[in-house]
Structures are given as structure tokens and as C-alpha cells.
Chains A and B, each alone.
Chain A
Amino acid sequence: MKKTTYIFLIFFLSIVALSAQEKNFKGTVLDETGLPLPNATVTIVGTKKGASTDFDGVFFITVKESDVLSISYLGYKTKQVSVTGKNNIKISLEPDAAAAALDEIVIVSFGKQKKKNVISSVTTIKPSELKVASSNLTTALAGRVSGLIGFQRGGEPGQDNASFFVRGVTSFGANNSPLILIDGVELTIDDLRRLHPDDIDAFSILKDASATALYGARGANGVIFVTMKEGKEGPIKVSARFETSYSMPTQNIELADPITYMLLGNEAVRTRDPIAPLPYSQQKIENTISGNNPELYPTTDWYNELFSDFAVNKRLNFSLSGGGSTARYYLSVAGQQDLGVLNVPNESSFDNNVNFKSYNIRSSTNVNLTKTSKLKVSFNANFEKYSGPRQGGSSVYNSVLRTNPVEFSPFYKKNEANEFTNHILFGNVLRNGSLLTNPFAEMASGIQETSSSKIIAQLQFNQDLNFITDGLNYRMIFNTTNNSTSRIDRFNNPFYYSPTLNSATGITSLRQLNPLTGTEFIDFQQSGRAISTTTYFESNLSYNKEIDDKNEVSGLLVYTLNNRLNTLTDSQLVDNSLNSSELLELSLPFRNMGLSGRFTYARNQKYFVEFNFGYNGSERFAKNERWGFFPSAALGWMVSDEPFMKKAEDVITKLKLKASYGLVGNDNLGNNVDRFFYLSVISFDGNGYTTGEEFNNYINGVSISRYGNNQITWETAKKFNFGLELGLFNDLDLEVDVFSEKRENILANRVVPSSLGLQSDVRANIGAAESRGIDATLVYNKSLTNDIWLQVRGNFTYATNEITKIEEPDYTDTPWLSRIGKPINQTWGYVADRLFVDQAEVDNSPEQTFGDYTGGDIKYRDINGDGKISLLDQVPIGNSTIPEIVFGAGFSLGIKNLDISCFFQGAANSTFFINPRQTAPFVNQQQLLKVYADSHWSESNRDLYAQWPRLSDTQINNNVQTSTWFMKDGAFVRLKSAEIGYSFPDRFIKKSNLHKLRVYASGTNLFVLSRFKLWDPELAGNGFNYPNQRVFNFGINVSL
């Protein structure tokens, strides 16, 4: 971080030097509630000089004493103020409902539209709302944006992307993720993660057919559209933000103590086999309790050995912008460092705590080449460096829960015999001829260093074609993105020791377990090298014309080309599961091309019509199926502008109805390896046979991994949207959209009996699904007094779906097995009634066909009444595993210089399942969860509804079936974030020669309400993942 600090200082000094020469004027522009208004336009009346406000509503301008400033902002009444005798000013703008409706601009696909004219379904949020104490933007989305279903299933730095779906999951095909466009170019969720809210100009979600049709090939899953900031005319503006945060798991899993572990471990063995030898002798238990010889009788709290209590993260963001009438610039530098919570042993030769650093440099320059042509050049470079344990942080966390607490110590102290050993004496034991996992050794014996860089360069050329006809404009974008990653592991093979007691002498000595395989020297391995290049070209002709007072038309024609080329990664090259044909497919470019268009017509600013189309081609399909046409249409009606609404004008300030219907496609049907469905994939490296006298003639066989089908084509979505925009009393805004969608041609596996002898699944466009739902946003703004303002926001998304067509076996006798009519993410499982009382009950109950079981094991319900529990008895259980409802609500309150905000977020209508294999105590040395220790079936306490069935040291197949026994409600509400900030008053700021100074403290994931108590409910079934983080954050924001 030191370097960035120096850069900051240099800028600081140069700015101070500059500003001393003229009369600097500083202003802060606020909205009616006191919230800062970024990008408000400030001009000196009678000149072309101007400025615009920054993220915090602050502007600076050099003025003469007599100047008058005009301050305007879309949707607000323009104000004029004189600067005479003042050096700074705070201006509150008042909303102008009429102007707002007229002029507010919304980013839509391939262009912008006036808010009033937008009749497709687009949600736009202020970037400031995306600020969370996390270096991952994706974690901020759930509950903030209506129409987005989102959740976060893990908290490891660098690996903590949230999952999100626009209007829920609508396909059971391979890909449900929305298209992510940053400055118009298709990028990945990782690129979204890296964005800094400070650099974002606008953030939109395009939801319905009308909004996404232009992305015909890719738009079916919705589009996330981000526009980055660019320079505005005005004097140089500098802004910096520095944050330090402390993060810790929201919740840790509670484990039983080691003595209980041993006692119940013995019970687990004996309760299944009364004559089996006990794993823990009485002597071991007693000696462990007494703690006399911890070397021989260890108790290891693996969690505390491996993890510390909290981690410290730092973030710095620095930006400067400005420019004149011919050129404008925006430059930002950001750096951040996230540390993990791993404990690094002093003895270790590696510093292998998770350390995730990321640097970002972004620059954008706009040049007016001529009066009518503009050029924009922007660069964005992102560098990331991850170092951490070789197996990754999540795996370390996981291994804690899979390691026996009394089997061995993490490491042993060097004794006389090992005094001069040059390595750590890690603990372990031999089981079944091989060593167990010592998570401490695994973590401490190696390090992975991954670095990646992403460089995006974009050229944009704008030509005003007024000389041909008024309102015609041409734009061309050329973008190239280069991404490279590499990973190097350095490690040695740990030496393991096991203490043995010489019963004659009473001396404990350490026995080396792997003298042949352990190494003291460091080895290395390079993997994960990958380079990808994307080029994007767009040619865009648009036309906007107000023909007269009544008629307004616009048109747009866009031609795009997209090309992505990936090198094969090291791991793909050595991956035995990929054959040479599949590698060849991976090496081929990914391409899309298309021509799209939009035509709109507005009459009297009240009636709106819009047509969109996309005509797109994808490289994935056979020639005859390669191109798809995706049309859509929308209608809108501004009811509040009708004469008959005049009377209600004061109450209903806005009422707009809109509807759209259309077709959008999705070509992303399989993973990258599985792309050219029209081709069969065979391999000459299949399983073969050996012949020959000396077994000397091995000949590979031929295997088939895909059967070609040249009929396979686009997945299509028919989307319908009906929306309502309502404004009440000038301070309440409500937007509601009701939607439904029919997804067809979903690629799915055919049902083929095994007797056909096929080696891989056969697929066809045979699936269909429907989804529907509602999303809504409510905003309430109010200035209570001059010094107190309040804003309340809420949003709600409900999206449900069902499969309407899929090839499945004949389920006439067992209709509950059919997926048709059930949600895409529905789980099927058995209905667990309770635990069996005893063997007698087992004998008198329907047979359960999962292997051995007895009293105390789970009793399932015989749904079809055939006297046995089998696959036929599986029924849909619980809700969808993806939440159907995601909501968020929060308020911001300003009292003079103090601001407080608070945001709750939650999800409902979802179900998850505890993974019983993962949590089964004693199986493969797995830990015993405290809840299971406290509540399980035992001979002495036949609790038929205990949390865990009869113990066992081996996997009881009967008990690990997917069933209602382990089904949990995934609903939760959490205090996602809370922030309190203080902006220093002007008089203080003046003295310190600053323009703005705000300090703040915030928290993320502060508490959660849920019926599920074992771990953070948002992790759902992934409870053994690296936990989601609770973060306390302190920040300072300075503007010069």
C-alpha cells in the first residue's frame, strides 16, 4: 500500500499548488432530502465554463467575483446563485416532476433513452447504493435491485462471488447467468466483482424482452449493464477514499469436545456391532481427560489451530477528473488487500495466509476531434495477486471439520532424537496403509501464488451526422480485452510422526511415518496458466428526431462482432478426462455476430410504441441452425398526462402503464468443452486392451463422448412484461412489473435405457419451462426540516418457475416423480417420518432398500404403498433451492452533518439440505457437530425425533438419502449493512484547505434472523464452506 500513498501525496501537493493561484469556489449540490447529487451540471452564466459534481455532490470551479452560477440536474428545477463574497455554498435543488419525466436519461441497450420514453423494463440504481464493506461488488446486489434473485454461498476473499439471476432461474439448461456488459462490452462476473462503485456512472438491469431483444443471442437470461464514469468539463477534481475493515465469520460451526467425541465414537462402533473392538480404549479416554501426556493423548482444537479471530482488509480509491472543451479525462487508481483468517505457524517456511491484493487503474479520455466527431479512449488495467494455502481457504475450513480431534497433534515438539531435524514434526497416523489428512500440515507445507491481469482497451468514435439529416448519429466501438492468469505452487512434502510409548521404559518416542516420501527441499508446480483475448466491434447508427410537438421518432441499427479466444490452461492440458477432440474444441474461438435494431415512436408524450429486433448468429450450431431472429414490441401510456387526470395532479404526479412482449435467445447451452453439439466427439485414447506374451501390446480403444445432432439450436424465451410507474405526492415513487416467460428449446438429456449401450447422454432441444413473478421498487424521499432528511427504499422480487416439458420416463403410476409442473430447482427426496424404535419395528415396516439399517435409523414413508422404500417413493420436498423471494429495505437519515443508513436484506421461499454425508460424525474421521452430540438416537435414549439417527463409524446409506429429515428452511433476514458517517463542517474544512471530508464507520452482515441455527443460513447446504464474513469497516473520504 505504501506506493499508492506516495502517488496520493504527489497529487495532493500538485493540486494545492494549482489552487493557490485563483479564486476557488466550492459548492455542494444536494437533493431535496439532503443526499448529494453527483453529476449535476454547474455553469457560469454567460460563459461556456462549467463543472459537474462528483460522487458526493461536490464541485469546484474557478470564478470571478461577479459570476452567477447556474446549477442544473435532470429532473430538478435549475437554480441560479451568485458567488459574490462567498467561497463556498451548499445548494439544495428541488425536484421538478415534469422536468424529471421529460429529461431524465436511462441507459438502455446500445444507447440512452429519456426516462419518460422508456417502456421496457429497466431498473437503474445509484452506484452509491452499491457501496458495501467488501471488495466484491457482486455481494452488494441481492436485495438492492428489484428483479434480481441473489445470494452468497461462501466468503473466501477472491472466491466470494455472489450468485444472481435476473428474474430468477428460468431455464434448466446449462446456463442461467445474466449477460454482463460493462461499457457495452460483454465481460464476466469476475469483472463485475472488480468494479469500484466510485467509478461507476450508472448501473442498470435490463429485464424484459423489449430491453434485451437487441442482445438476441445472449439476452434471454437478462442483462446487467454498467456504465463507467468519464471526465466532465471543469477544473480538476480529486477525490480519495481509504477504508480499513475487520472481517470475521458471521457464524462458526460448533463442535463437540474431544472427550465426548471419544465416548460417542465408541458408542458409534458398538451400537452397530456389539463385538467390534473399541476405537478408543478406556485408558486412552482417561489419559486424555487427565491431560498428563498430551503428546500421546492429544486433543486438538483444529479450528483454533488453523484460524485466527479476524482479518484486516484495506482499500484505497483515488480518482481525478476534469478537462476543457476539447478534452476531458477521468483517472482512477484503486488498491485493496484482503487477508484471510488463517493462522500461520511460526515454524512454517511459508506465509500462507490468504492474501488477496488487487490493483486497478482506469483512465478515460474524451476528445472532440471536430465539432461533430468525438473520440473516447479508455483503458482499464486490473492486477490481482492471490497467495494462500495450496488447497484454497475453503478446503482448509472444510478439512477442520473432517479431522479427528484426538488422533494426533498438529505437530510435535522436537525431542532429543529429533533435535537437529530441519523440518516440522507434523502429526499423523497410518490408516489402511495410508496417512490421514493433517490440515495443519497441508496448510503449512505449501503456498499457491496466483496472479492475474486484465487489460481492457476501448476506442469509441462518435460522429454526428446532422449534415446528412438532423438527429442522425454514428458510433463505432472497438474493444480488446486481454486476460492472463498463472499459478505457481511451492511446497514440500511434510514429514509425519506418530508418538509411540515404550511400555517397558515409559518413554515416548516419535516414529517417522513417511521417511521415503517426505521432503525438506521445496518443490514447485506451475499450473493454471491461461490467457484469453476478446475483441469486440460495434457499429451503431442511430436516429432521434422530434418531428413536431406531437411526434417523436427514433431508430437504431447496430452491427456487432464478438470474438473470444482462450488458450488451453495447463490444467486442461493435463486433464485426463478431456480427450484431444475436446481440447481442439476448446482451442477454437467463441464467436457471435449480429444485426439489431430498435424503432420507437411517441405521440404527444403520452403514447409510446417500440419495436426491437436482434438477428444473431452463433458459432455453436450447425449451419442451418446458426442464425436466429428475435423480435419484440412494447407499448406505453402516460396516463397521468391525460386531461382526465388533471384533477388528481397533486396526488398522482406520475402514472405510466407499459407492456412488452417478445422473443430472446440463448446460445450458451453447454459448457466450453461442450459447444459444437452438431459434431460427435470420439477419442482414440479410450480404454483399450493389452495383448501379447509379455503384456507388451497395449492398444487404446475408441470412446464416444458425444453423439452429434445437427438439429440442436437456440434456447428461446418468450417474455411478457406489464409495468406500472406511479408517483405520489412528489415524494413517493413506486414501480411494479409483472412478468411471465416461456422458455423453450431447452437442451436436455433424452431418457434412454442403458440397454441401448450408449457411452454418453443424448441431448436435444426438448425442454420447456415457464416462469412468472413480480418485482417492485418503492422509494420515499422527505425533507423533514432543513437539517433533517429521510429516505426509505424497499424492493421486492418474486419469481417462480415450473418445468412444462421435459423427456422423462413413464410416470403414470407414480405421478409424483414427474418434474413437469414442478420448479426447476425442486429437490426430490424421501419423506422421513421419524427414527425406527427398534429392530422389531424395522422387521414390521416396509423394506428400505439402501443397505443395512436398524432401530434408530431413519424411517421413510412408503408413498406408493408397494411395501418397500425405493426410488419410486421420492416426492418433491420443500421449496426450490434458489429463493423465490428476495427483498431488501433500508433507510438513510441525515441530521445536519451526520448521516445514518441501514439496510436489511432477506430471502424466502427456499429450501436447503444439510449434507448428511458431509456431517456424518466419525465417518472418515469426521468431526462431531455439537448439535448431534446433544441430540442423537441411542439405545439408552430412544429419541425418535433426534437431530441425528443412531451413530455409526461408517456411512449408513439408509440415513444419508435426500429426505425431509435434513431439509431446512432457507428463509432469512439479515442486517446487510449499516453505516454512520460524519461530514466535517465547512469552517473546519476551509481551514484545512480541503473541500470535503467525511469519516464513516460501517458494518456488513451484522446479524441474521433465521430458524436455522447451525451456520449462516445464506450458505445454505454449503455450511462447510469458508463462512460468509461479518465486516466492520472504517473509512475516510477526502475531496480536494
Chain B
Amino acid sequence: MDLIIQTNVYLILVLMYLSKNKKMKNKHIFFTMLIISLFYSCEKDYLDVVPDNVLTLDNAFTDEVNAQKFLYTLYASVPSPGSVFNPSLTGADETWYPTTERFKTGQAIAQGNQGATNTLGERWRGQGTSSMYVGIRNCNIFISRLELGVRGLSQQKTQQWIAEAKFLKAYFHFYLARMYGPIPISDELIPISSATDNVRLTRNTIDEVFTFISALLDEAIADLPIFIPFENDNLGRITKPIAASIKARILVTYASPLFNGNTVYSDFVNVDGENFFPQQFDASKWEMAAIASKEAIDICQEAGIRLYQTGDLDIEAPQTDFTLLKATLRGRVTDRWNQEIIWGHTDDTGIIQYESMPRLYSYLNNPVASRHCPTLRIAEMYYTENGVPINEDITYDYSNRYNVKLAEASDKFKIEVGQSTAKLNFDREPRFYADLAFDRNSWFGNGRTGTNQFWNIRSRRGEFASIFEPSQYSVTGYWAKKIIHIETEVTNGNSLNTKRYSFPVIRLADLYLYYAEALNEANGPTGEAYNYIDLVRERAGLDGVLTSWSSFSTNASKPTTKEGLREIIQQERMIEMSFEGLRFWDMRRWKLAVDLMNQPIKGWNVLQEDLVDYYKVIDLFYPSFSERDYLWPVAENEIINNPTLIQNPGW
């Protein structure tokens, strides 16, 4: 505040002059000097209020610590697979919610409320980490800055970090391509002051996009480590197995019917008249997918990644073979960083568990929402205990499956003995009991894991697990037990303590089934294909495909044809990967969504008190899905801002 002091000095001078120097002769000169000096008293840098060294983008690359922060910024854009806002968890026929929740993103998509002006769950626009393009730009900034070198960052780390950034850049592009199909590739860092024409990126074709992604991944795979150095701190970062496995997923997607010779899009062309979607089916894409899958499997093996097995679960386990298997199957997703998980996301899983957890006894208040609930279709999708579909099993009373039946002692670890439930819930494969919960189902966990210590769910009207209030109940009569950690528990009936786990983005069983699928599509049924399906079935306590079908199926020869095996692989996949956010994408790439998403969503009549009334099947919703729904609409605003973009067909 030099100014104030200066001014005060002047004032004092003035007053002194007035009071004492009345007789001074040269007062005129004094005054003139004073006034002139006042006008010139301005400090030159008076307006320079901003100090030097304020934070700018350059500071992010001055040393290793800050560069690492920028690296973690890239990771922040990786969409969380276990988030309730992930439309692939709630946006299909896999789960259904009370009507009060119908406006949530995924639920609204499932009901067919997607629109170009109110795009739901989009990843294109947005200004935060939710926009893939923000992530991609950050990758571009990071790569270009690291290539210049960061003081103190070793050559080896620089190389590894660049590889991580390249992987993420490829993954973000893939994430968009899976949603929007042909997308603009953003490979270069475009300066913000660029002229309008340069910032208006145009859409690339499917072939260009996937070729670009695949090449970028290859660059990344070369420089990524097999193991994460310093796992304690760094687990969750990208490794070679992750990149290779994601590459397998990407190439399988690229080879799938939606993207490979999909003639629905014959009129969907760019300004040059070139088709965005390749119009010729190309079988070699499946071969490439198979090769990539096998490479990934080999890299995973090198990294010690294997299917999660009985004995891996590190809790005081229930001591029968069946309960142990059941607990193991629950652990294959929720046991954090387990042997099978190739890429686990580190987002907190508290909310999805809160949404999914049933009430196990009378709670004082409402610690669980209990509404992320599998539909009847999902319950029927699981195999019988003989490992074949319920409508094919010669021993299974398919037509009477909605009748009720009394549980006997032999059902002890599945259904509450002496109580009745639908026949559908009897005699199913172990994964049915590991992944789902239902009325009269037994529940291990929540503090009870011993042989005779478990909870039994009771969910008919008025019972503790039934409707608590209109927004918080299972509308179908099932719960997604699979994604609830066995140690997650409600304490004292009023607070939920969730055990956090690393929600898998991709795990080994997933990769095995990609490989089997690619092999079958490329070469038809082969021993190698059966082998990889059977590895997954075996872990689930089931016999191999050929054995199971020949012994129990009405369609014994099904696994021997390409089409039959395709169906088997698809069903196996949807069972094994249920509730992990893959069915949503799989039914799209297989082009099955038009069929599946036009059938009514069903559940038990859960608001009934009476046993027989409860087990009546009711229609919850009649979804509708048309060809255009296979791809997200590009937000209309974006097209207005960038007229060189072409809207997806039908939107």
C-alpha cells in the first residue's frame, strides 16, 4: 500500500504548509511542484498485480511427482464398470428397477428413452472426466510432453508411462466406437487457437477406427510391463496382460456381426460416399480376434493369471463341497485383485452393493436400497444342475417351473428347508445359487458363513425382504448376489459396511470365452474351442459341453454345429459374465438386442402375500428396441457445433 502512505505524506505536507508557511513567498512554485508530482506518482507496475510463478500447465511436467499426477488424470477418465451410472449394468434386460427409478440413465435407456436431444449416458460430450475426448486430449498432451522429457524421470519410466497413455488413448477410442460406431479419431493435439475448420473433426470409418486402435495397442503392449512394479501402491495400473486382453475384446467386437458386414448400414456413408461400416463380412477378422485372444491368454499365463479356484477364498469358509464352491464362485468377481482378474477398476463398489443388497432380517431403517434386481429372464437363463439350458434338460420339468415346491433337507444350502418357492429355483447349477438370491433362498455372509449359519431371505409382502417403500424393493423377486462381497454386512440393522472390491473390467473367464467364440466363428467347433468353454464350466462345477449335452439335452448334437456351439457360447457367456456390464454390449455386437429387448420384462408378483399369488409371473415392462438403438445418437448439439459430423442412422 505504497500509494496510501504516499498520499498521506502529501496530505501532511499540505497541512504543514497551510498552518506554518503562510508567509512563504514561493508558495506558488511549491504548489505547482506538488500537483505535478501527484500526477506522476503512479508506479509503473501498479497494475501488475499477478505475482510471478502462478500455476500453469507447464508446472505439470516439471518433475516426476507432477507428471504422475497428470498420468493419474488419464486414469480418471476410465469409466467405472461397477458404477450405478454405467448404463451397461442397468440399461438392458438384465436387471430391473422400481418405477420410481425409471429416469436414471441406464434404466431410461432400457426403456427406449434415448434421444438425440437428450442423449443419455453419453461419453462424447461433457467437460469433465466423463468425456472420452477430454481423456483423449489429456493423453495427447501427456504423450507429447513426456516425449520431450521430464526432469528426473528415468528413461524406463518415461517409456512405460507413455505406453500406459497410449493404451488409455486406444481404450477411450474403443469405448466411443462401441457406443457410436464410426467416430472421429483424435490422434494429434490440436491447439485451441486453431481455425474453425481445423477443430471440426470428421467421423472416420469403422475400419479406420479399429485399425488405428489396434495399432496403438500394439505400440503400448510392446512397452508395458508384465507385472506392475510396486504392486502395493500401483495395482490397478495398466500392464501387458491388460492391454493384450483388451485388444482381444476390441478385435472380437470388430469381428462381430454389428461391425462386420452389417448391411443395415448400407446407406450410412460419409461425404465421399464411402461406407462407414464395412459392407462385406470378413472372416479373417475372426481369425485376427482368435490370434489376439490366444496371445492374451499366453501373456496372462506368463503373468500368473488363472481361473479363481476353490481354496483361493481367504475367509472362514463353509465346510461342504457345495457351499465352498458357491462361495468360490462369489469370490471370482468380488474377491479383490484375485488371481482371475486381469484388469480391476478401483472405483468404490459401495453404491452398487447398497443398490443390490437384500434385507436379510428386519432392519431398523434403510441401510440397503435392495433394487438392483435380476429379471426372470436372467433366472431362467442359468443352466440346470446338469449344465444345460432349462428348456433342453430332459430331467427338468420345464412346463411346471412356475409352480411351487416345498424344500427338503437336501436343498438346505440353497433353499430354506420346510418352505416353498418356485420350482424354477430348484435343481439349478451352482452359479444360479452363487449369483442370485430369491424368496426363501439361503444367504451366506453378513457375518454368517459357517455350515449351519446362514440367512434365509423372505420377501413376500409384509416379510422383511419385501417392499420397504415404493423406491426400495426388488420388483422381480431376485437379487444380484454375485456382485455383493461375502463380507459385506449390515451391522445392527442400521448401517451397511461394504467390503470394497476391484470391479473387473476384464477377467480370464471372459477372455477364454472370447477365444472360444472367435475360434468357433473362424473355424467352427474344434477341440480347442470346447476346451476353453469347458475350463469355465469346470470351475463352475459343471461337466464339459459335449458330455453335458449328450447326457442331458434334448438337442444332444447342438455343440457339434457352428450355429449350435455359437448359441452355447453365447449362453455360457451371458451366464458367466452376468451383472458385470457385458450382456449389454454382447447383445448389441451379436445383433440380438432387437429380439431380446422387444420381449416383456418379467418378474414374480412380488407385492403379494400369498405363496401362490406371489409366484405368478407378471409383465413389468414392454421395452422396444429398433435398429437405430444399436448405436448411440450423436448429441444434436454436437452436430450443430460441428456440421461435418453425420448423425447415426435413425436418429
Contacts and interface: CB of A to CB of B under 8 A. Distances in A.
Nearest to B640: A809
A539 B10 CA distance: 12
A16 interface: no
A757 B136 contact: yes
A700 B72 contact: yes
A937 interface: no
B48 A686 contact: no
Contact of A870 (B116, B337, B472): B116
A758 B134 CA distance: 6
Contacts of A758: 127, 134, 137, 192
A752 B131 CA distance: 14
Contact of B55 (A580, A687, A691): A580
Interface string A685-697: 0111111111111
B72 A851 contact: no
Given A751-B641, A954-B103, A682 B35 contact: no
Interface residues of A, number: 96
Contacts of B500: 695
B611 interface: no
Nearest to A709: B193
A591 B129 contact: no
Nearest to A538: B38
Contact of B35 (A474, A535, A687, A694): A474
Nearest to B77: A687
Query: Of residues B100, B236, B500, which shows the largest number of chain A Cβ atoms within 10 Å of its Cβ?
Result: B236
A972 B206 CA distance: 59
A521 interface: no
Interface string B463-479: 00000011110000000
A464 to B, nearest CB: 11
A619 B47 CA distance: 5
A957 interface: yes
Contacts of A686: 73, 76
B18 A373 contact: yes
Contacts of A696: 232-233
Interface string A68-97: 000000000000000000000000000000
Nearest to A618: B47
B106 to A, nearest CB: 15
Nearest to B138: A757
Interface string A491-524: 0000000000000000000000000100000000
Interface in B216-256: 231-237
Nearest to A752: B199
Contacts of A756: 133, 137, 186, 190, 192, 199, 201
Contact of B186 (A589, A755, A872): A755
A664 B200 CA distance: 36
B70 A701 contact: yes
Contacts of A697: 233-234
Contacts of A535: 1, 3-4
Interface string B36-80: 001100100011111100111101100000101110111110100
B79 to A, nearest CB: 12
A872 B55 contact: no
B117 interface: yes
B261 interface: no
B56 A754 contact: no
B73 A559 contact: no
A763 to B, nearest CB: 10
A617 to B, nearest CB: 5
Nearest to B65: A699
Given A432-B469, A692-B233, A753 B638 contact: yes
A755 B201 contact: yes
Contacts of A691: 75, 233-237, 346
Contacts of A957: 118
Contacts of A851: 108, 113, 115, 118
A276 to B, nearest CB: 7
A759 B134 contact: yes
Given A689-B75, A849-B115, A872-B636, A431 B127 contact: no
A432 B100 contact: yes
Nearest to B347: A690
Size bracket of the B interface: 35 or more
A679 B638 CA distance: 28
A293 B560 CA distance: 72
Given A541-B35, A756-B137, A871 B636 contact: yes
B135 interface: yes
A810 interface: yes
B49 A695 contact: no
A541 B196 CA distance: 50
A122 B587 CA distance: 73
Given A693-B231, A754-B125, A699 B3 contact: no
Interface in A435-466: 459, 461, 463, 465
Contacts of A639: none
A681 B54 CA distance: 9
Given A535-B4, A699-B69, A755 B11 contact: no
Interface string A927-970: 00000000000000000000000000011010000000000000
A960 to B, nearest CB: 11
Given A692-B234, A809-B642, A754 B131 contact: yes
Contacts of B366: 430, 433
B471 A701 contact: no
A691 B230 CA distance: 11
Given A687-B128, A753-B642, A762-B192, A539 B35 contact: yes
Contacts of A871: 117, 636-637, 640
A189 B28 CA distance: 42
Interface string A749-792: 00111111111101000000000000000000000000000000
Nearest to A690: B346
Contacts of B636: 849, 870-872
A754 to B, nearest CB: 4
B369 interface: yes
Contacts of B72: 688-689, 699-701
Contacts of B471: 431-433
A810 B494 CA distance: 57
Contacts of B116: 849, 870
A526 interface: no
B54 A755 contact: no
B7 interface: yes
A679 B115 contact: no
Nearest to A480: B4
Interface string A536-562: 010101000000000000000101010
Contacts of B236: 689-692
A419 interface: no
B643 interface: yes
Given A687-B76, A955-B103, A478 B7 contact: yes
A688 B73 contact: yes
B269 interface: no
B462 interface: no
A693 B337 contact: yes
A585 B54 CA distance: 9
Contacts of A955: 103
Given A682-B57, A758-B137, A693 B235 contact: yes
30 contacts: A276-B99, A432-B471, A459-B11, A461-B14, A535-B4, A537-B3, A539-B35, A559-B38, A584-B55, A595-B39, A626-B47, A680-B56, A681-B55, A686-B73, A687-B73, A687-B128, A687-B129, A689-B72, A691-B75, A694-B232, A709-B193, A753-B642, A754-B641, A755-B133, A757-B134, A757-B138, A758-B134, A759-B127, A870-B116, A871-B117
Given A617-B46, A684-B55, A849-B117, 13 more contacts: A593-B46, A679-B50, A681-B55, A689-B78, A696-B233, A701-B69, A701-B72, A701-B129, A704-B57, A757-B134, A762-B192, A807-B196, A850-B115
Closest 10 CB pairs of A and B: A757-B137, A701-B73, A689-B75, A753-B642, A691-B236, A757-B133, A687-B76, A690-B346, A699-B72, A432-B471
